Amino acid sequence: MSTKKIKRALVSVYYKENLDVILKELHLQGVELLSTGGTYEYITGLGIPARKVEDLTSYPSILGGRVKTLHPRIFGGILARRGHLQDMQQLEEYGIPEIDLVIVDLYPFEKTVAAGATPDEIIEKIDIGGISLIRAAAKNFEDVLIVPSSGFYPQLLELLKDKNGETDLEDRRRFAGWAFMVSSHYDNAIFKYFDKDSPSGVFKESVLSSSLLRYGENPHQQGVFHGDLSDIFVQLHGKAISYNNLVDIDAAISLLSDFEETAFVIIKHTNPCGVAVRSTLRQSYLDALAGDPVSAFGGILAANRPIDQDTAEEINKLFFEILIAPGYEKNALEQLVSKKNRIILQAKPYQLPGRQFKSVLNGIIGQDRDLKKETYEDLKTVTRLEPTLEEKENLLFANIVVKHTKSNAIVLANNKQLLGSGVGQTSRVDALKQAVEKAKTFGFSLKGAVMASDAFFPFADCVEIAHREGIDAIIEPGGSIRDEESVRYCDENGMRMVFTGFRHFKH
């Protein structure tokens, strides 16, 4: 019979929040409750009768609470197949009661690790009894309903009320699936804790939350986000965020994280098309926009300071997809939400993950995130003339921007403003030509500007082109067998060049 009445429930949980509603409903429906330790005290404290597991097993909780429910009289009642004659005869022979519902909330292992607990404290938060109860009840979903965490209390309460304490096979199978999701995630967290010091090379990731997206990169592709966006930002206004939006938001936040001064960035298809650092946010925005007002149309805007009313007035003149900032003045927000589809996000303090992953072919590649941010100490002058302090500031600014630009990439900048960039080109010369054309298109003079390259120059041709356009200072990783040709040309023409020793390819 697929429909079964819940007559007896075992409750063993760590967190008790919102459990009272479930317990009261079970009591109302005449369900006998079994429990242990703190959960038993909580149940009886509500005035609801319960039976101690110790009274059933005739064994107390031992080893400092490590062993409470691990007993045949508990697991027999969970694992017994109700339609299996021999199983039922054994239950009767050993006086083992059937258990129809198991409610578990595991020790908070991940939270304990994240809180910086000691190794001993972390080990003690590896749940043994709870995880065993989950697996046993889920395995026997033909007869038993398993609730594997407090996150599923709402679904249980709905089920209890709608079906008056009865469950069918579809219900139990659905909850069993959730149970193995919870248990596998829990085991994965434990594995990663032990694996971090001596990596095994095994790829294991588990993300419990996910959101369906409108579609993938294109309307004919399905899209989904695995993760919890509420850790990163709060959406204050606008339509649902798309797959492409998320990719661009990631690019914007990554770029902005490298700036400490008041900065504004504009992203289009993951590439910076406007970046500026100024004393005021309004001027940062205006100068970022000036870098490429055509590409900024429909772009992703991001600031590392709260949006004030003056800045909002300027931003409001532009058609854009998304605006990201750590805060908004009240009057500024009122202006910005005037268009219903604009996505307005308030960023939270967040540290980007140290690892990145990408699916390729029939597997996954992983790497450390490029967190290298060059400083003055990284600049090695390789020409006779050394860049001025102002040039060094601009070189470091340009180097940040080129680091976040698709390869092959060239960035031209001056006065901490992006003047032009060449992105995703198949040759570095093409990238430079594109950057020069961009700058000139929007009325910038390149005299006194600086150039940044994400990788070394294989020949001196880019240096020669830069010089003809009036560029005097260059930053690049170095490392070409023909570095000397580029350095020689700079020396012969009064240019300054620094090597960083760090390449910043981005694909």
Which of 7, 24, 27, 269 is catalytic? The answer is: 269
Residue 420: strand, helix, or coil: strand
- Nearest Cα neighbor of 248 from 295, 179, 312, 310 is 295
Burial state string for 282-315 with b = 16 or more CB within 10 A and e = fewer than 16:
bbbbbbbbbbbeebbeebbbbbbbebbeebbeeb
Task: Write the Ramachandran bin of 270: left for phi over 0, alpha for psi from -120 to 50, otherwise beta.
Answer: left
β-pairing verdict for 224-226 and 233-237 = unpaired
Count CB-CB contacts under 10 A for residue 437: 12
| Residue entry with tokens 């027999």 | 76
Contacts of 431 (CB under 8 A, 6+ apart): 408, 409, 410, 422, 423, 425
φ/ψ region of 469 (left if φ > 0, alpha if ψ in -120 to 50, else beta) reads alpha
Antiparallel, parallel or unpaired: β 166-167 and 4-5: antiparallel
- CA dist 474 and 467 (Å) reads 10
* CA distance to 210, 393, 443, 463, 500, per residue, from 153 (Å): 19, 56, 62, 66, 55
Structure tokens, 118: 């000691």
Quick one: how many helices (H) and strands (E) in the chain?
18, 23
Token look-up 């659905």 returns: 174
Q: Is 139 a catalytic residue?
A: yes
Closest CA to 301 of 336, 349, 330: 336
CA distance 3 to 23: 22
Residue that the structure tokens 């005037």 belong to: 338
Contact between 164 and 223 (Cβ < 8 Å) = no
The span from the CA of 53 to the CA of 60, in Å, is 8
State the catalytic residue, choosing from 139, 163, 185, 433. 139
Q: For residue 21, give both structure tokens.
A: 């509603």
Is the torsion defined by CA of 231, 232, 238, 240 positive or negative? negative
Which are the catalytic amino acids?
A: 139, 269
